Structure 1
Amino acid sequence: MIRDIHEKLLALTDEEKQILNGEIEVDRSLYTDNGQFIIDSDKLLSQGELIDIRKHTRFIKFPEHKHNYIEFNYVYQGELKEIIDNKEINLKKGELIFLNQYINHELEICSENDISINFIIRPEFFDYILSLLDNENIISRFLITTLYTDYKEGEYLYFKVAEDEKVQEILEKIIIELYTDGMMSRVTIKLLVGLLFVELVKTPECIEIYSVDNYDKMIIIQVFKYIHEFYKEGTLLEIAEKLKQPDYKLSKLIKKHTQMTFKELIQEKRLSRAIELLKARDLSVVEIMQKVGYENPTYFYKIFKEKYGVTPMEYRKKDNK
């Protein structure tokens, strides 16, 4: 992070100065005109803005609240302790949590060296993000469903990505841009946030998901993680045993939340992986077919063409042009 922006992040805000001078409660008028503590994006974003960032207020406990926008909390340095539905989440440096607009949460007191950044994002911003994500990725599909359905319960996605250099590099670029007015266009910010999402959905093993009063969705994300790792030989019976769920019940849950069967999810993952290997051009089609879990070439060619409209060889030739 360039020194000038680093110093801005460490500097005291006017609100923090008031707290250090004896203010014992958060000034709610800075965040909402509503009697309930629902933070209003209009208080934090200029008219027409879809995304901005602000440093999280230190030295005081931030009481339980909701917000009418999507929020990312990113720990720049130190840590951030959040309490969501009586569950304490301890975010460390480099980690990121995604909060939907229905979540009810509070934040413990941060010390001087605990610097967290709140990304404030209006829901309509994600109309653009949707266009950048790969709809064939089952993790991506799950995240999109979380964002765009009419489900009205609080949810979070906790990304333990402190060691992911690509993610950290993108976050740094976004922060620099938002703190450096006029350095690049707002279109570039959208591209960077889109790229961030693309990178995040590549790491399902680093995602912890929580849905208030919705145990089913926690089960489904475990299914997705299992498919991501064991798509070649995984079975419904095996994941049902791992999750201590009857296979018939798990099958119904999968269909309910994804509109697909377990077999269809496995096939989507296998074909998606086959596409990646075809693009790499290191293996023959037969080797790719076997690597993703198929033994019958006729069947593999049939389902591939049904999905993509061309044979694997035709796809590779087209991709090479």
Structure 2
Amino acid sequence: MNQELLDKLKVISPEEEQILAGETEVQKSIYTAADDFIVDGSQMLDAGKLIDIRPHTRFVHFPRHKHNYIEIIYMCSGTTTHIINDTTKVTLDTGDLLFLNQNATQEILPAGEEDIAVNFIVLPEFFDRTFLMMDERSALQEFLVGALKKNRSFTDYLHFHVSQVLPIQNLVENLIWSLVYRQPNRRNINQTTMGLLFIQLLNHTDKINQDDPGQHDQNMVFTAMKYVEENYKTATLDELSAQLKEPAYYLSRLISRMTGKTFKNLLQTKRLNQSAFLLTTTTLPVEEIIASVGYDNTSYFHRIFRAQFGMTPRSYRLSHDSVSSQDTGR
């Protein structure tokens, strides 16, 4: 990280000064006015803001709490140790990212002076543009996005070990820099940067920390989804089972439980979305598109395509060509 930016984040805050002077507990009133320790976004964010950052409070045990917003923690330097949902210990090293939704409980062990973490305080609506940027729909995308939604329960947190992924490090630092120095047009810049960050994270789901016991099932499902994304033309559950060295019946139940879809559903959705993408971005004949996504029965393809999109492939192509023509003024 840029040294000037790091030095700015390392400055001892007034709250930390009181802790160093003898205060032994976090000042709860800074974070919430409620009896329950739920950190309140309206208290942490200025009116009208959708995102801001706050360096993590060091030198003190931060007690168990929740958030009524999405929290993203980035480890600028050093380490911090977090207890998630009372049972899972997660250690963040320099360059790590931790995403927590509103369901997660968190407790943080005391950090030292050189342990610099930044907390992103993010309201859900900030991600609207992020999700629009991820315009090629996929089950993998839906799973990652679902982890940020309060009403989804398959996972409450995601820990990415991405210190060696330079594009991700650059994007996070750009986001911190923009929020610290309050550059002009920062809402547009920050939302676009967050969108690029999520696209990069989709490319690096293998960096979800394999050592977190609470993420074993999530890791398995991410791997399965990435397999479908990259091998949709020939993918089979048996091949995935062989790669992961897990029984096919176990993977089938796990995928269904955590995504609400069967392996067959995931594969079909990917193939249909890919065919729709090719229909609107190429002039390939429909028959070639059908073969390219893994189907050899054209009648079956037409039937499931109509069920998914409410029209034939030809009509789908024509309707999107009409929209494109209007957009370009042709």
Same-fold status (TM-score > 0.5): yes
1:184 CA drift (Å): 3.5
Q: TM-score, normalised by structure 2?
A: 0.77
Structure-2 residue corresponding to 1:129? 130
Report if the CA contact (8 A) 2:54-2:120 is conserved: yes
Q: CA distance change for structure 1 residues 149 and 243 in 2, over 3 Å: closer, same or farther?
A: farther
Q: CA distance change for structure 1 residues 114 and 286 in 2, over 3 Å: closer, same or farther?
A: farther
Report if the CA contact (8 A) 2:228-2:235 is conserved: yes
Structure-2 residue corresponding to 1:120? 121
Q: Partner letter of residue 71 of structure 2? A: E
| Aligned-partner Cα distance in 2 for 1:214–1:157 | 8
Stretch of structure 1 that moved more, 82-91 or 200-209: 200-209
Structure-2 residue corresponding to 1:19? 19
Structure-1 residue corresponding to 2:147? 146
Percent same amino acid at aligned positions?
A: 35
Report if the CA contact (8 A) 2:175-2:190 is conserved: yes
Q: Partner letter of residue 6 of structure 2? A: H
Q: Partner letter of residue 313 of structure 2? A: G
| Aligned-partner Cα distance in 1 for 2:9–2:248 | 51
Structure-2 residue corresponding to 1:187? 188
Stretch of structure 1 that moved more, 212-221 or 172-181: 212-221
Structure-1 residue corresponding to 2:107? 106
Q: Partner letter of residue 11 of structure 2? A: A
Report if the CA contact (8 A) 1:211-1:218 is conserved: no
Structure-1 residue corresponding to 2:34? 34
Q: Partner letter of residue 235 of structure 1? A: T
- Count matched residues: 316
| Aligned-partner Cα distance in 1 for 2:49–2:13 | 22
Q: TM-score, normalised by structure 1?
A: 0.79
The 5 Å alignment of 1:276-315 reads 294=294, 296=296, 309=313
Report if the CA contact (8 A) 1:155-1:212 is conserved: no
| Aligned-partner Cα distance in 1 for 2:218–2:133 | 24
| Aligned-partner Cα distance in 1 for 2:277–2:80 | 37
1:236 CA drift (Å): 2.2
1:268 CA drift (Å): 3.8
Structure-2 residue corresponding to 1:71? 71
Report if the CA contact (8 A) 1:5-1:176 is conserved: yes
| Aligned-partner Cα distance in 1 for 2:124–2:261 | 26
| Aligned-partner Cα distance in 1 for 2:191–2:222 | 27
The root-mean-square deviation of aligned C-alpha atoms, in Å, is 4.0
Q: Partner letter of residue 57 of structure 1? A: T
| Aligned-partner Cα distance in 1 for 2:253–2:203 | 26
| Aligned-partner Cα distance in 2 for 1:181–1:168 | 20
Q: Secondary structure of the residue that 1:147 maps to in structure 2?
A: coil
Structure-2 residue corresponding to 1:56? 56
| Aligned-partner Cα distance in 1 for 2:219–2:205 | 13
Q: CA distance change for structure 1 residues 266 and 300 in 2, over 3 Å: closer, same or farther?
A: same
| Aligned-partner Cα distance in 1 for 2:208–2:100 | 13
Structure-2 residue corresponding to 1:263? 264
| Aligned-partner Cα distance in 1 for 2:301–2:191 | 38
Name stretches of at least 5 consecutive residues in structure 2 with no aligned partner. Answer: none
Report if the CA contact (8 A) 1:51-1:119 is conserved: yes
| Aligned-partner Cα distance in 1 for 2:245–2:12 | 48
1:167 CA drift (Å): 1.1
| Aligned-partner Cα distance in 1 for 2:216–2:99 | 18
| Aligned-partner Cα distance in 1 for 2:132–2:175 | 19
Q: CA distance change for structure 1 residues 126 and 183 in 2, over 3 Å: closer, same or farther?
A: closer
Q: Partner letter of residue 309 of structure 1? A: P
Q: CA distance change for structure 1 residues 169 and 216 in 2, over 3 Å: closer, same or farther?
A: closer
Q: Secondary structure of the residue that 1:201 maps to in structure 2?
A: helix
Render the CA deviation track for 1:84-110: whole Å, top value 9, x for unaligned.
Answer: 132211111111010001111111221
Stretch of structure 1 that moved more, 27-36 or 254-263: 254-263
1:131 CA drift (Å): 2.2
1:79 CA drift (Å): 1.7
Render the CA deviation track for 1:135-184: whole Å, top value 9, x for unaligned.
Answer: 52221111223334623686101112111111111111111110112443
Report if the CA contact (8 A) 2:39-2:65 is conserved: yes
Q: CA distance change for structure 1 residues 160 and 304 in 2, over 3 Å: closer, same or farther?
A: farther
| Aligned-partner Cα distance in 2 for 1:170–1:133 | 16
